Structure 1
């Protein structure tokens, strides 16, 4: 299926709609498979969603939490995506610690830590050689340069197709990130994008033709559902008639 695009009047409406959709997909995954696997993103918009999820009554013991990318910093660092999600959500609910699967950043070697996390994914999902995990939910944001996860324009990580986790690069700083094939194997991918500063990149990402290496969010074309939730300020100049499916 193609992408589904919804424009919400405000950031608060975007969070409310995201919460509804994520709850629906969690419930659906647990009903069908007994557990739900969700990969989180960083950023201010997801933080508000995580705080909202923390107020819900969900079967936490059946939800397994991963991250789509992580800055290469200790887990207690202010820039850590893991720390943000723990404070906003995971420390506020009764989720078993074994259900939380952060990306490791302690080896002092990003490549080694990426390989370690790949092994964890392979073991958790009981993968055979060459198989990709199928995440129930992957949450993504988009930067004003068109990047998503830690897949930045014109970086080597965009081309990696033989691994699940690789090393991204942001202005010379390493980050761990899911690869494009892994994200694209998900059952449900949800982008949350807010702010006037996203308009130019969104126009390129939604264009009929544009360079995906320059605007990596274009590379996300999952085998499952693809949803874009935008606030009005981000979507103002888009021609959504040709973008929606």
Structure 2
């Protein structure tokens, strides 16, 4: 595993999401030149959806063979199918419905009307992950995992002060007491996130600056979960100028 972390700063949200979209499409084409298929983990949130829309609107979008791309999620709100707050609905509207993508390639977390018990929902998603996991691995080979970062430093639905999540042996956890609504959520564990080849964190706004600065300065994972994120090959923070306020200059990269 490499310890290579880089921060790429963009002047505003539009340039941030446009740059990430362009890099994603270019990297995805490269990956598919070498692999039979690519597995991508999506995130929710305002910036996540804006990035997905930028991918959808890119002139390079249809150069990708989407038939060979699988989409997963880092976390999900345990709500009924089609609920406006579910990450999968937001991603479908922002991007997935515009792609030439088989429905079987969309691996959404279970909904509360399909699986009433959140603990069983976690087991269902864990089984689906296992079906796509090669022997000796803990999860599918995620080429790129997108993550947002909360003002408190949380990623996926791994919130501060919940140290047990760091060493949880499962691949998926049920969260019963999220500090922001809704309280019930499903999330990949940190070990699964860190099994990804590349982790791309996309964040914007001054409210994210403190968490980003603390993470890069070596804060406790228990207090600032994003500090524990580390992709196998590369970990990149794509940020706007406001979020980069507290980033050490030595970590700012001019290129990917």
Q: If the TM-score is normalised by the length of the shorter chain, which range does it land in?
A: over 0.9
Q: Indicate if the aligned counterparts of 1:158 and 1:216 stay in contact, CA closer than 8 A.
A: no
Partner secondary structure for residue 127 of structure 2: helix
Q: Indicate if the aligned counterparts of 1:25 and 1:137 stay in contact, CA closer than 8 A.
A: no
C-alpha offsets along residues 120-175 of structure 1, whole Å, 9 cap, x if unaligned? 111123445x7333201100010000001111001255234311111234128121
Determine the structure 2 residue equivalent to 1:42. 44
Q: Indicate if the aligned counterparts of 1:14 and 1:231 stay in contact, CA closer than 8 A.
A: yes
Partner secondary structure for residue 136 of structure 1: strand
Picking from 40, 49, 73, the partner of 1:67 is 73
Task: Return 170-179 or 58-67, whichever deviates more.
Answer: 170-179
User: Within the alignment, does 1:198 sit opposite 2:208 as a pair?
Assistant: yes
Q: Distance in 1 between matches of 2:36 and 2:160?
A: 37
Determine the structure 2 residue equivalent to 1:52. 54
Partner secondary structure for residue 205 of structure 1: helix
Task: Return 176-185 or 44-53, whichever deviates more.
Answer: 44-53
Cα pair distance change 1:143/1:27, threshold 3 Å: same
Q: Distance in 2 between matches of 1:76 and 1:205?
A: 34
Q: Distance in 2 between matches of 1:131 and 1:199?
A: 32
The normalised TM-score by structure 1 is: 0.93
- Deviation of 1:243 after TM superposition, in Å, equals 6.6
Task: Return 42-51 or 140-149, whichever deviates more.
Answer: 42-51
Q: Indicate if the aligned counterparts of 1:125 and 1:133 stay in contact, CA closer than 8 A.
A: yes
Q: Indicate if the aligned counterparts of 2:152 and 2:224 stay in contact, CA closer than 8 A.
A: yes
Unaligned runs of at least 5 residues, structure 2: none
Picking from 96, 99, 105, the partner of 1:93 is 99
Determine the structure 1 residue equivalent to 2:221. 212
User: Within the alignment, does 1:155 sit opposite 2:162 as a pair?
Assistant: yes
How many correspondences in the alignment?
243
Partner secondary structure for residue 91 of structure 1: helix
Q: Distance in 2 between matches of 1:206 and 1:238?
A: 7
- Deviation of 1:35 after TM superposition, in Å, equals 0.9
Q: Indicate if the aligned counterparts of 1:157 and 1:179 stay in contact, CA closer than 8 A.
A: no
Picking from 185, 189, 199, the partner of 1:189 is 199
Determine the structure 1 residue equivalent to 2:190. 180
Q: Distance in 2 between matches of 1:72 and 1:36?
A: 26
Aligned Cα root-mean-square deviation (Å)? 1.8
- Deviation of 1:203 after TM superposition, in Å, equals 1.6
Task: Return 133-142 or 105-114, whichever deviates more.
Answer: 105-114
Unaligned runs of at least 5 residues, structure 1: none
- Deviation of 1:37 after TM superposition, in Å, equals 0.5
Q: Distance in 1 between matches of 2:156 and 2:128?
A: 19
Q: Distance in 2 between matches of 1:156 and 1:112?
A: 22
Picking from 236, 239, 248, the partner of 1:239 is 248
Picking from 141, 147, 154, the partner of 2:148 is 141
